[in-house]
Amino acid sequence: MTRSKVRLITIIGTLAIAAIIVVQGYWVLQMWNYKEKEFSQTVKVSLYRVAKQLVELNGSVLPNTGIINQMSSNYFVVNVNDKIQADHVEYFLRKEFQKVLINEDFEFGIYDCSNDQVVYGNYIKANAEPIQNFKEKSILPTHEGFTYYFVVFFPNRSTSLIANLMYVFLFSLLLLIALGVFVYSIFVIVKQNELSELQKDFINNMTHEFKTPLASILLASGAISSNPKVKDDSVIQRLTGIIDQQNKRLISHVEKILELAKLEKNKFLLFTEKLDLNNVIREMLPALELRIENVQGVMNINLSNEDIFILADKIHLTNVLDNLIDNAIKYSINNPVIYISSSIQKGKVTLCIEDNGVGMDIVTQKKVFQKFYRHHTGNVHDVKGFGLGLFYVKNICNALNWKLKIESTPAQGTKIFITIPKV
């Protein structure tokens, strides 16, 4: 992932998180206000019914205005303008609150307006037994000319509201946790991307720095081996041959790493042309046969009888075949047997590389094309490489829109199929 993409994702993610937090906060606030408004309206209706029943019981009428006054979210004043019996108030309050499902503790008090004092008060639990009826008794002294009003207070209203909205708060908490995880993930991605870029720059610089001394070593070994003074010395010739061989191998690895760097950055060039796949394979056979003979192996070739023309970059095609065959040789337990075949089916060209090696399980098959992945080789201890060969093959196939498929069974070998459009 490029830095620009990571930066874009970070910006979009940050904006999305900010928007979600704002929307979630607004939603919670609106829900809180709605519940508060709903509760207030329900209480006011219930208190009006209580007041109406009280005055009807006394044979009087309610004031024209100012009957129900809400002083705060949980405090209400009811002006009856008539004598009030405490038993009556409690009975009607509990009955009306039960009707509308207000299941909360509440306090009520009766005020004497002549001296502005509470003349009666009581605390009613939400789970108290309901009153079946009231008795005609006077607990409060009644005085002609005094105006009474009563108040209702819900002491646990905030706690109750929070409990009712607990699912909202829980959801918001889970959302915030998810957002936190997302932010942390973005942070980790950014850090990993920075480290990955540093790693790539280091590898690229390192490989470029290697090319010059490797070329110098190759020239030097060639000069030594061709020098007349040592030309007939078999020991020196053998040693310079080893230097030359291993040097070329290092150069090959360096070039492969550079090509892979280009692949990852989509900066590599493909020079596609019409090629005969069978001819490309035949051109490679002498070198391939020599390699497999060195490990006491056998190579079987089964190419299609008809010409197979495809669009491909010859260099990359050759590298793909070389990597697949090299991989097949590496993972052979004893004497490798390699099968190379080509065929045409339904206008599609199929290239198959088969070996009798250690094979792979399903889990390994899913990972084998990853960068730097190396298959556990069991008893095969001399497998060398960086784990880049099959990664390179996959990237080239993707770039050319070729389909890559693997079939493998542990201890029985592996088949790799490449499906290519025929031209």
Q: In whole angstroms, what is the distance from residue 107 CA to residue 74 CA? A: 10
Domain co-membership, 92 together with 232: no
What local confidence, expressed as pLDDT, does residue 318 receive? Answer: 87
Domain shared by 256 and 281, yes or no? no
Shared-domain flag, residues 287 and 244 = no
Q: With bands split at pLDDT 50, 70 and 90, how would you rate the model's confidence at 141?
A: very low
**For 52-78, how does the pLDDT look when each residue is reduced to its tens digit (9 = 90+)?**
888 888 788 888 777 888 888 888 988
In a domain, 169, yes or no: no
Identify which of 9-13, 112-116, 150-154 has the greatest average pLDDT: 150-154
Give the model confidence (pLDDT) of 282-328 as tens digits: 988 888 887 888 888 999 999 998 889 999 988 889 889 988 988 88
| Token couple for 343 | 């065929």
pLDDT-derived band of residue 140, with 50, 70 and 90 as boundaries? very low
Structure confidence at residue 332 (pLDDT): 81
Number of domains in the chain: 3
pLDDT of residue 120: 72
Question: Does a structural domain hold residue 297?
Answer: yes
| Residues whose CB falls within 8 Å of the CB of residue 110, separated by 6 or more in sequence, listed in order | 84, 86, 89, 118, 119, 120, 121, 140, 148, 149, 150
Cα dist from 160 to 79, 205, 396, whole Å: 27, 66, 65
Residue 178 maps to a domain: no
405 and 323, same structural domain?
Answer: yes
**Better-scored residue on pLDDT, 416 or 264:** 416
Q: Which of 35-49, 60-74, 399-413 has the lowest mean pLDDT?
A: 60-74
The residue out of 129, 164, 199 marking a domain boundary is 164
The amino acid at residue 339 is Y
Mean pLDDT of all residues belonging to the chain:
78
- Please tell me whether residues 284 and 245 are part of one structural domain: no
Q: What's the pLDDT at 254?
A: 72
Does any domain span residue 181? no
Residue 49's closest CA among 88, 8, 9, 11? 88
pLDDT value at position 143?
35
Q: What is the largest CA-CA distance in the chain?
A: 141
Q: Which of 164-168, 257-261, 312-316, 379-383 has the highest mean pLDDT?
A: 312-316
Domain boundary residue among 164, 199, 228? 164
Q: CA separation (Å) from 47 to 4, 32, 150, 323?
A: 64, 22, 10, 87
Final residue in a domain of this structure, among 116, 149, 164: 164
For 311-370, write each residue's pLDDT tens digit.
998 888 988 998 898 888 888 877 899 999 999 988 899 999 999 988 999 988 888 888
How far is the C-alpha of 310 from the C-alpha of 281, rounded, in Å? 13
State the CATH number of the domain containing residue 300. 3.30.565.10
Q: 249-269 in b/e burial notation, b at 16+ Cβ within 10 A? A: ebbebbebbbbbbebeeeebe
Cα 207 to Cα 229, 373, 384: the distances in Å are 34, 20, 19
Task: Give the Å distances, CA to CA, from 343 to 286, 301, 323.
Answer: 22, 12, 20
Strand partners, 420: 349
Domain containing 156 equals 3-164
Residues 356 and 414 in one domain: yes
| Residue 179 falls inside a structural domain | no
- Do both 138 and 255 map to the same domain? no
Q: Are residues 18 and 160 both part of a single domain?
A: yes
Same domain, 39 and 154: yes
Mean pLDDT of 175-202: 72
285 and 344 assigned to the same domain: yes
pLDDT band at 6 (very low <50, low <70, confident <90, very high): low
Q: Work out the average pLDDT over 366-388.
A: 65
Query: Which residues share a beta bridge with 195?
Result: none
Q: Are residues 95 and 11 part of one domain?
A: yes
Does 185 reside within a domain? no
Has residue 134 been placed in a domain?
A: yes
> What is the average pLDDT across 40-44?
91
379 vs 225: which has the higher pLDDT: 225
Are 282 and 365 in a shared domain?
yes
Q: Kindly state the average pLDDT of the residues 5-11.
A: 70
Please report whether residue 202 resides in a domain.
Answer: yes
